[in-house]
Structure 1
């Protein structure tokens, strides 16, 4: 037993000594490094906005400990990339931080990580004259001479129009005070300062073209009497907690269009977050909302995609306006962390609208209002977390912090030739507390399979005052709803169930609808390729 303890003690000391030894002998690099990739693509970035950090793994597959004399960027101190090697910033002098490394040791059969990022000003003197986008490249050089190896680094840089609030230095604590929006919040004629960081657009900024993308920090406000126009093909990107607010007496017109071949929506207007890396392509909640404030008027959206917001559209007030507060046609809203469209005592007309993948409801018409939706696909296949609400929600009340219930008339809510479906059951909620509550569903495909609620309250589906010509619980045969591909297939339960009384001649892609066998939803059916 004593011999065993002595052996274990000696063995432990030997392991401890070998793990702490610092007398490795490193041989010169022989040019046989291996790399996880031969090109590092940093994806697309906007001018002056920092990229994400990307990595390159470098391997020493030999049985010899080696030292790499230099690892550097080919463009030297003029390079617009920055490197970090296993935690070392590579400081040689102030101009070359993250550009140049000396005597990098790499053990036998080991590896190291190189982390690389960039912030590029498209007007940098190192780039020369550029157009609206530029492919910026460099190389990471390993060693020199005949054994030098290299890995390409590539970034697409886009120029943009930046809209952001002013900042004022607070000299007392050396922090910045960011401008906030001031407008008549309560309708008493007196401007009120809000907590919303942002500013009103100038007259010169009230037309968004397709020449350059727009990047918005904070809320871009449209002031009373002004109209913001977004032309076909415009691209609008929002930073976190940013959006557009259309105030009392102001208007937003989004004028997208079909592309020439009518099979895609390339000429639409796209509103999304400002992170262009593929990782952020479908992440909800990256920015705020498009907010049609009480008193804004004659707003229209045609051929637009609104994605990755917190609330896609928030529309408040003006349910009795002569013209609907918002008319939205041929548009898509998806990947929204809360509500696709949230209406509060407002008026909305929608045609050929697709909403999907929302953390709460895809469409919620709350506190009454006036809503007319025709040939719309209101679906919800949210699978990121649990959601509390159905794809479509209608009510005529709100409850304040004291649990006091306030009601407002739902003057009309008509859903014609629509699909109301999702990955939960049921996908329709209709609740009222007041006496004026007018709604009707005509020739829709609806998911509602609930024996407890059916034929009670607002769910008496054989009452033709409220429900007529609808089909329930037949599969819509969406192309891939979890990827927001919402065309319907040949086996769809929505095929041919529509009524000619509500026919819109063209679907969202500009395809002609049959007048005799009308499909519900925003798309006519198609046969999917295997």
Structure 2
């Protein structure tokens, strides 16, 4: 069958512009594609397909399986289509601000020319292979450009890694931070300019993909670790705090203030016989547990939100686990006392009927308290371990539709409250004042005041 060769030829493109979200310099993007359709009952012959920028372009194309930025005599059969795949790698230019990269794919056929625009945002960065912050020294990372790690970042003995406000850390698959004995990490963001720790793929398709990197690992005897106004997302484990194998005096410490740990394939906060304080913080959307407080320890949570609506796979367990023992390599049960696990003015809520798991060895101490909390649980909330509990609130109606009784929009990871939330005005003001032991005010995670004497539960105060 002859080719359609009229000068009025048209091609149909599935996209007129292909846009890439921010891509780090020297790091290849995801592959995007668009489709080119022949609307005619005869085949068409595209004389040339090429990138306008030629060999110097940051973009690369593959036309129906054939790589290269220049192609001739590409046939599209009658009423059929071809696919054009596009990637981009941005050259570094030592700019601190994102740069825009543009080009186009040109199609020449029967004396006519068509084009599809290509647009990418490029971001220069500091790049690291396996990195050791050497023992005994203090390191403050610059906050002018992102830091991208392709191996573990090890904070060696007695060293301290300081992340100032606005610092952005990005970790490649399998990498993370290891804080060694007597070392510490201090992440000191602000409400306006938080520290962000996540994977190294910034394209929108990766926005909420878990397990992009490994974890922040605070080893046994690391001390005085602080995360303040920090967002940690899309890893396997958010923060792991160890103490197994150390004496009671060797417990690591971790303080979380106005911090979000979200979207982990495994556990948000994995605390193993450790000492943790968290205030105004959010633990959300994890495949196993938002918080697993195991092998004993001492824990205090004030105005924290624990929320789990994990949808990437089946979730068979609750979002919160408390435990006071472990099984040794010799199959012996080793009891480690849970001296304290206090939850005050907190929310523990998700889409499972039971979101609280209590795994207790009766021969050890197992002290826990939920006071002035909203819970999703089948536990006996009349027992001494529970005080002033709002349990299992019913769905509410908003604009004629059934609505989650607690959160504004959990489907979009928004765990703020709304005007009918069951968590409104249920807090204890004396617990709110305990925030002053760790922060300069009793304001919420977004710096909204809790000033009406009837604080809302969780990390967010509802503001009409």
Q: TM-score, normalised by structure 1?
A: 0.79
Q: Which residue is 1:103 aligned to?
A: 73
- Distance of 2:24 and 2:86 partners within structure 1: 17
- 1:268 lines up with 2:205 in the alignment: no
- Distance of 1:367 and 1:507 partners within structure 2: 31
Q: Is the Cα contact below 8 Å between 2:219 and 2:252 reproduced in 1?
A: no
Q: Is the Cα contact below 8 Å between 1:320 and 1:347 reproduced in 2?
A: no
Give the secondary structure class of the aligned counterpart of 2:411: helix
Q: Which residue is 2:106 aligned to?
A: 141
- 1:468 lines up with 2:387 in the alignment: yes
Q: Which residue is 1:256 aligned to?
A: 189
- 1:412 lines up with 2:336 in the alignment: no
- 1:284 lines up with 2:217 in the alignment: no
- Distance of 1:104 and 1:273 partners within structure 2: 39
Q: Which has the greater radius of gyration? A: 1
- 1:507 lines up with 2:444 in the alignment: yes
Q: Which residue is 1:118 aligned to?
A: 88
- State the Cα distance separating 1:205 from its structure 2 match: 9.3
Map residues 406-485 of structure 1 onto 2, 5 A cutoff: 406-433=334-361, 434-449=363-378, 454=379, 459=380, 461-464=381-384, 466-475=385-394, 476-485=405-414
Q: TM-score, normalised by structure 2?
A: 0.90
Q: Is the Cα contact below 8 Å between 1:35 and 1:58 reproduced in 2?
A: yes
Q: Which residue is 2:462 aligned to?
A: 525
Structure 1's 411 and 325: CA in aligned 2 closer, same or farther, altered over 3 A? same
- 1:379 lines up with 2:310 in the alignment: no
User: Unaligned regions of 5+ residues in structure 1, if any?
Assistant: 1-23, 90-97, 124-128, 166-198, 260-266
1:201 is aligned, of 133, 140, 146, to: 133
Higher share of residues assigned strand: 2
Q: Which residue is 2:419 aligned to?
A: 490
Displaced runs of 4+ in structure 1, greater than 6 A? none
Q: Is the Cα contact below 8 Å between 1:378 and 1:420 reproduced in 2?
A: yes
Q: Is the Cα contact below 8 Å between 2:134 and 2:156 reproduced in 1?
A: no
Q: Is the Cα contact below 8 Å between 2:148 and 2:170 reproduced in 1?
A: yes
Report the count of equivalent residues.
441
- Distance of 1:223 and 1:43 partners within structure 2: 35
Aligned-residue CA RMSD in angstroms? Answer: 2.2
- State the Cα distance separating 1:58 from its structure 2 match: 1.1
Give the secondary structure class of the aligned counterpart of 1:143: strand
User: Unaligned regions of 5+ residues in structure 2, if any?
Assistant: 395-404, 436-441
1:163 is aligned, of 128, 131, 136, to: 128
* Worse-matched range after superposition: 475-484 or 325-334: 475-484
- Distance of 2:249 and 2:286 partners within structure 1: 29
- Distance of 2:238 and 2:96 partners within structure 1: 32
